[in-house]
Amino acid sequence: MLRLTSTSSVLFALTAVCGLQAAEKESSLDQALALEEAMQLAIKSAEPSLACILVTRDKKEYGAPSDEPGVLGDFQPKSSGERKLDLADPEYVPESYGSGVVINAREHLILTNYHVVRAAVKIYVRLAQTGKGSETVEKGSYANIFAADPRSDLAVLKLLEHNLSLKEIRTGDGNNLKKGQFVVALAYPFAVGFRDGSPSASWGIISNIRRPVVAGLKEVERSKFTLAQFGRLIQVDARLNLGCSGGALINLKGEMIGITNSLAALTGVETPGGFALPFDDNIRAIVDVLKRGEEVEYGFLGVSMAPGAKRGEAYQIEHVIPNSPASAAGLEEGLYIISINGVRIHDSNELFFNIAILTAGSDAKIEVASTPDGPTEVRTARLAKSYVGGPAIASKRPDARKYAGLRVDYTSVLIQMLRERNVPYNGQIPRGVVIRDVVSQSPAAQALLQPDKIVTRVNGDDVNLPKEFYAAMDKARKNGKQVTLDVMSLGGQPDRIKLELP
């Protein structure tokens, strides 16, 4: 009897264990299916907002774009019925391509990476098709570059066809990303889907955040590098190949939290994962500027860190450029910069990024101390403008024709540009504004004014900011048709130039 009871107990225990294992297995499967469903719903929600960007840079076949930067126009066949060069033709295989995201449906604006459309002659944007079978409707349009910024490696395209129903992507919180967070990348690897506008999906987790690619440099030497290279990257184990630049990194809610970039990690090594720029408040602010068609004007302080200095408790100033914002704020060699607007600073990369995102003309609260852990005080610096290597494109900028054919910029840009051109100049930032553009056949062109010349006065009034120059020119127009400018070369003496205003 005892033996039978023991056997029954064992059988009962085994049955209970098996039942528990089956329940646990079923529970695990339910959880896996729930995750699978969440991903499918996220993809379904975001997929209609993705676009494939088809690009040609062939000036010989397509002709050079217009003199107005970013205006590329529609396809104009050389002969009747010709389509072999038409990027809208699904049978045409593009020489270059990338991905994009609808960020403003009403204005028909598409966000992508700058390097995807750099030096483009024609751009065609193909969106996801709608319908099924014979009822499928192809959606796409040629596009102009509405605004582009080499430093953030971002560009906004504006579709020429406005009779399109677009779905704007929802954006999520890119500020508080965590390692291990599930993400899905939507993009067009190797142009797969460029004919039907159907992006590919790749999922994984965030492997790391704030990944730097380059070592610290002086503030005046950063024009060739993008923000992505200074500790702003998300590293993901979702695979991102060529063509994925400009795609969307989404969370399980279908919200964009990053912009995929297949060229971000300039390591020259094939990697199993990829990188993306987080869509945080800083990048969102840059995108907002580009959505307005304006140029992003990054802040410039005018300091450098001691050569070979390593990451520490603070940023020690090795040199202050005379007449720079740093100099005007009373910053000196040997002081430590503890924080900028309350954000702790440890090295040159952190200083560069936190100064740049404040933009030119804004105030920076600089917390300084004589030692990294000593008593601190706060100095306020009105930032100048950082030079950005490569052509920036902005649809909305001051109309040079209103100002005798002149468009001007901060003189802080000039000394950084000279450094990039290896032109020796160790002096102070000059007073005035630097001529950036001169319209051909304008009064300024007829007076032989050239870019890089410096305007110090307008009708005897000092001008040290672009807005001061334009305000002085508007004032001169109200008072008459002629204006007198004090113009000089760097390090030279000013000449007085009289111009007729339109």
pLDDT at 20: 58
| Residue 130, pLDDT score | 54
- Given a cut of 50, is residue 3 above it in pLDDT? no
Res. 138: pLDDT tops 80? no
- Mark out the alpha helices in 125-278 (DSSP H runs): none
Q: Which domain holds residue 195?
A: 182-291
For 336, residues 6+ apart whose C-beta sits below 8 A from its C-beta are 313, 314, 315, 316, 317, 368, 369, 370, 371, 372, 374
pLDDT of 155-186, one tens digit each? 999 999 988 989 999 999 999 999 999 999 99
pLDDT of residue 418: 85
What type of residue sits at position 141? S
**Is-contact 307 282, C-beta < 8 A?**
no
Structural domain includes residue 333: yes
Average pLDDT over residues 5-32: 62
Distance CA 114, CA 96 (A): 13
Residue that is last in its domain, among 345, 360, 385:
385
pLDDT tens-place string over residues 433-472? 999 999 999 999 999 999 999 999 999 999 999 999 999 9
| pLDDT given at position 146 | 97
Q: What is the 3-state secondary structure (H, E, C) of 32-73?
A: HHHHHHHHHHHHHHHHHHEEEEEEECCHHHHCCCCCCCCCCC
Position 200 pLDDT exceeds 80: yes
Q: Are residues 138 and 231 in the same domain?
A: no
pLDDT average, residue stretch 250-267: 81
Quick one: pLDDT at residue 188?
A: 86
In a domain, 19, yes or no: no
Is the per-residue pLDDT at 194 higher than 80?
A: no
Return the higher-pLDDT residue of 96 and 128: 96
pLDDT at 411 > cutoff 70: yes
In this prediction, residue 262 carries a pLDDT of 72
For tokens 């939507």, the residue is 186
CATH number where 287 lies = 2.40.10.10
Instruction: Report the pLDDT averaged over residues 257-285.
Output: 75
- What is the mean pLDDT of the segment spanning 468-486? 92
> Which domain-ending residue is among 266, 291, 316?
291
Same domain, 71 and 119: yes
The CATH number given to whatever domain includes residue 451 is 2.30.42.10
pLDDT of residue 268: 46
> Could you tell me if 371 and 439 lie in one domain?
no
- Look at residue 333 and give its three-state secondary structure: coil
Mean pLDDT across the chain, nearest whole number?
A: 85
Q: State the Cα–Cα distance between residues 434 and 414, nearest whole angstrom.
A: 7
* Number of domains comprising the chain: 4
Q: What are residue 77's phi and psi, to 5 degrees?
A: -65, 145
212 within a domain of the structure (yes/no): yes
pLDDT of res. 22: 61
The band of 56, judged by pLDDT with boundaries at 50, 70 and 90, is: very high
Is 31 within the bounds of a domain?
no
Residues 268 and 313 placed together within one structural domain of the fold: no
Fill in the amino acid letter for 247: G
Answer for the pair 459, 474: CB distance below 8 angstroms, yes or no: no
Average pLDDT over residues 356-380: 92
pLDDT, tens digit, for every residue of 59-68? 888 887 777 8
Average pLDDT (135-148) is 83
In a domain, 11, yes or no: no
Q: Is 400 within 8 Å of 437 (Cβ atoms)? A: yes
Q: Among 123-132, 269-278, 377-386, which stretch is predicted with the lowest mean pLDDT?
A: 269-278
Question: Which pLDDT does position 390 carry in this prediction?
Answer: 77
On whether residue 330 sits in a domain, the answer given is: yes
Please tell me whether residues 305 and 360 are part of one structural domain: yes
Establish if 22 belongs to a structural domain.
Answer: no
Q: Is a pLDDT exceeding 50 seen at residue 18?
A: yes
Model confidence at 312, in pLDDT bands (50, 70, 90)? low
- Residue 60 sits in the same domain as residue 152: yes
More confident residue, 309 or 247: 247
Please, which pLDDT band fits residue 13 given cuts at 50, 70 and 90?
A: low
Q: State the pLDDT at residue 5.
A: 47
Question: Is a pLDDT exceeding 70 seen at residue 240?
Answer: yes
Pair (365, 434) in one structural domain: no
- Whether the predicted pLDDT of 4 surpasses 60: no
Whether 33 maps to a domain, the answer reads: no
Whether 186 and 287 map to the same domain: the answer is: yes
* pLDDT greater than 60 at residue 133: no
Helix (H) or strand (E) holding 445: helix 443-446
Q: Are residues 196 and 101 in the same domain?
A: no
In this structure, the answer to whether residues 228 and 305 fall within a common structural domain is no
**Band of residue 266 on the pLDDT scale cut at 50, 70, 90:** very low
**Residue matched to tokens 């804004």:** 362
**Residue 409 pLDDT:** 96
The answer to whether 327 and 151 have CB atoms below 8 angstroms apart is: no
**246 and 343: one domain?**
no
In whole angstroms, give the CA distance from residue 349 to residue 196. 42
Q: What is the pTM of this model?
A: 0.86
Q: Which among 260, 291, 322 is the end of a domain?
A: 291
pLDDT > 70: percent of the chain: 82
Residues 277 and 187 reside in one and the same domain: yes
